[in-house]
């Protein structure tokens, strides 16, 4: 990545920096998550487009869980259920520019919002490959710092 860096505008990790650089037209192609593109759409920028390789692409999803070690599982599950409720799911979609896996969130979003970040069909999760932590994460973090500073 260091050897390729001179051919690029740079490597950007922070979402706000990515969006700012895109909006300033400092680059016209980039690798990002869907959220950054949807955020730009939400702010009136219709030109950003997304592409995924025909072979498929990586995806990010988050979830809420209750630890087996929790001292108060009942209350913890109440919090999780509130977090994934349709109303809160819709609000989180609006502020996070990302879809919810709860299809009932769609009734709390406008047609435009549903087009941009409506619910994900839970069946799509069946073909996902679970995330596995990187071995020796410290080496990866050190390498990333070297790349950024090169």
Statement: the pTM of the whole predicted model exceeds 0.75: no
- pLDDT, position 62: 67
In the predicted model, residues of the chain with pLDDT beneath 50 are: none
- pLDDT, position 60: 66
- pLDDT, position 14: 67
- pLDDT, position 71: 94
Q: How far is CA 101 from CA 72, 86, 125, 128, in A?
A: 25, 10, 9, 14
- pLDDT, position 5: 80
- pLDDT, position 72: 95
- pLDDT, position 58: 65
């Amino acid at each position: 990545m260091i050897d390729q860096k001179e051919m690029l505008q740079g490597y950007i990790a922070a979402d706000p920096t990515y969006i700012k650089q895109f909006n300033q037209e400092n680059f016209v192609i980039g690798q990002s998550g869907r959220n950054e593109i949807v955020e730009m759409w939400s702010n009136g920028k219709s030109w950003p487009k997304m592409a995924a390789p025909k072979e498929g692409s990586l995806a990010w999803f988050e979830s809420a869980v209750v630890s087996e070690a929790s001292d108060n599982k009942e209350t913890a599950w109440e919090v999780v259920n509130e977090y994934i409720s349709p109303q809160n799911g819709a609000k989180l979609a609006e502020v996070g520019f990302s879809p919810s896996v709860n299809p009932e969130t769609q009734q709390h979003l406008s047609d435009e919002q549903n087009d941009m970040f409506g619910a994900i069909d839970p069946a799509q999760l069946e073909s996902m490959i679970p995330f596995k932590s990187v071995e020796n994460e410290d080496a990866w973090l050190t390498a990333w710092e070297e790349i950024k500073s090169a």
